[in-house]
Amino acid sequence: MPQDVMDTVIGASQPTQAERDASQKHFGAAREAESTGDRSSAIAELRKAAGSDPNNQDALFRLAFLLDLAGEEGEAIAMYERCVSQSPAPVNALINLAVLYEDDGEYARAEKCLRQVLDTDPNHPRARLFMKDVIASREMYYDEELDRDLLKRNALLDTPVTDFELSVRARNCLKKMNIRTLGDLLRVSESELLAYKNFGEASLQEIRDMLSVKGLRLGQRVEEAHRHIRREIYDRAKQSGAEKALEKPIGDLNLSVRARKALQSLGIRSMGELAARTEAELMGVKNFGQTSLDEVRERLADFGLSLRDLDFEDEVGGTPPPPLPL
């Protein structure tokens, strides 16, 4: 059985002082080139830095980071692997490597990287977020392997909701919400249904029961899109300089007791998780009204953030999350 690269130690021989000095010189030249926007020269200098001193973690990380941005995922993975093989492994290197592994379908390796982070910091927001994605992607992969009858599945999702035994009220509400098929129904959450006028718990339970019989649940089809949405939110926040705010706990918003309890009921622990929610989802929570919504908007705005627009997913094309800078 081949040895897992995550279990190996690379660069066992120690570089000489002259080699370390040369590595630092190339690393400094790389950062200078990068500051002027010359990514190609920066990558070339970083390759020299890593070659002079294979244990230069800063050079390895930065080289992997720039290679990933340049679309050289294979070499980026190799550099991240060398970086995290040394102790202590940089948290951001482990997370970036996990993202690349997940994109390659290497879910076990991605999970191993993230568990290494969570073992030392169980509440690390970004590691927790990506761990959920990895586990969900792995489960989806196995589900797809088992479900080969796509035509039958598509036919089921195209079934009109009028074919099911629902009350007049539930059927009328779905019609007004433009939910025509079973597939449409799987794209909405319970909170979004409850936020609609005259749609109550009784109607919700009807739909839950109806879907449960077929092994389905509300929001099932939108879960994959939501994972890309959360990543896109991190990407946009990075561009605006608000990325660090996404990792802050909800407590930093200093919300009222009512608003805080509503967010807790949705399992929202960080500002990033809150920014991935829509107004409709929040308004669907019991005792969460317009006053609480305005409060959340204002507090998020103080950190340069906002709630997700309902049509946000239409703008997302499955873009992978950005790597973390050191």
Within this chain, do residues 209 and 277 fall inside the same structural domain, yes or no? no
88: preceding bond cis by omega (within 30 degrees): yes
Look at residue 123 and tell me if it is in a domain: no
Look at residue 97 and tell me if it is in a domain: no
Range of the domain at 284: 242-315
pLDDT of 86 reads 85
Give the rounded percent of residues in the chain with a pLDDT score beyond 90. Answer: 16
**Mean pLDDT across the stretch 171-183?**
87
Using the 3D structure, point to which of 175, 203, 218 is the last residue of a domain.
218
Within this chain, do residues 197 and 259 fall inside the same structural domain, yes or no? no
Domain count, the chain: 3
Token pair, residue 135, equals 């586990």
b/e string for 133-168 if b means 16 or more Cβ within 10 A? Answer: bbeebbeeeeeeeeeeeeeeeeeeeeeebeebebee
For residues 77 and 68, what is the distance between their CA atoms, to the nearest angstrom? 8
pLDDT of 310 reads 57
Residue 185, domain CATH: 1.10.150.20
For residues 192 and 188, what is the distance between their CA atoms, to the nearest angstrom? 6
pLDDT at 264 over 70: yes
Count of residues making up the chain = 326
pLDDT band at 89 (very low <50, low <70, confident <90, very high): confident
Which residue stretches of 195-256 are H helix? Answer: 201-213, 223-240, 243-246
Within this chain, do residues 13 and 74 fall inside the same structural domain, yes or no? yes
Within this chain, do residues 260 and 186 fall inside the same structural domain, yes or no? no
Look at residue 111 and tell me if it is in a domain: no
State CA 204 to chain mean position distance.
28
Look at residue 107 and tell me if it is in a domain: no
pLDDT band at 26 (very low <50, low <70, confident <90, very high): very high
Amino acid in the structure at residue 165: E
Within this chain, do residues 271 and 311 fall inside the same structural domain, yes or no? yes
Mean pLDDT taken over the chain: 80
Name, in order, each residue with C-beta under 8 angstroms of 239's C-beta and a sequence gap of 6 or more: none
Using the 3D structure, point to which of 87, 120, 136 is the last residue of a domain.
87
For residues 89 and 91, what is the distance between their CA atoms, to the nearest angstrom? 6
Within this chain, do residues 213 and 253 fall inside the same structural domain, yes or no? no
Q: Are 134 and 98 in contact (CB under 8 A)?
A: yes
Amino acid in the structure at residue 199: F
pLDDT band at 326 (very low <50, low <70, confident <90, very high): very low
For residues 117 and 123, what is the distance between their CA atoms, to the nearest angstrom? 10
Look at residue 296 and tell me if it is in a domain: yes
Q: What is the pTM of this model?
A: 0.43
Most confident range (mean pLDDT) of 29-33, 242-246, 272-276 is 29-33
Q: Are 43 and 60 in contact (CB under 8 A)?
A: no
Within this chain, do residues 9 and 80 fall inside the same structural domain, yes or no? yes
Look at residue 110 and tell me if it is in a domain: no
**Mean pLDDT across the stretch 132-137?**
78
Greater confidence (144 vs 78) lies with 78
> Which of 266, 310, 306 is CA-nearest to residue 288?
266
Which pLDDT tens digit goes with each residue over 68-86? Answer: 888 888 888 999 999 988 8
For residues 82 and 220, what is the distance between their CA atoms, to the nearest angstrom? 38
Look at residue 109 and tell me if it is in a domain: no
Look at residue 64 and tell me if it is in a domain: yes
**Mean pLDDT across the stretch 101-129?**
86
Cα-flanking dihedrals φ and ψ of residue 121, to 5°?
Answer: -140, 85
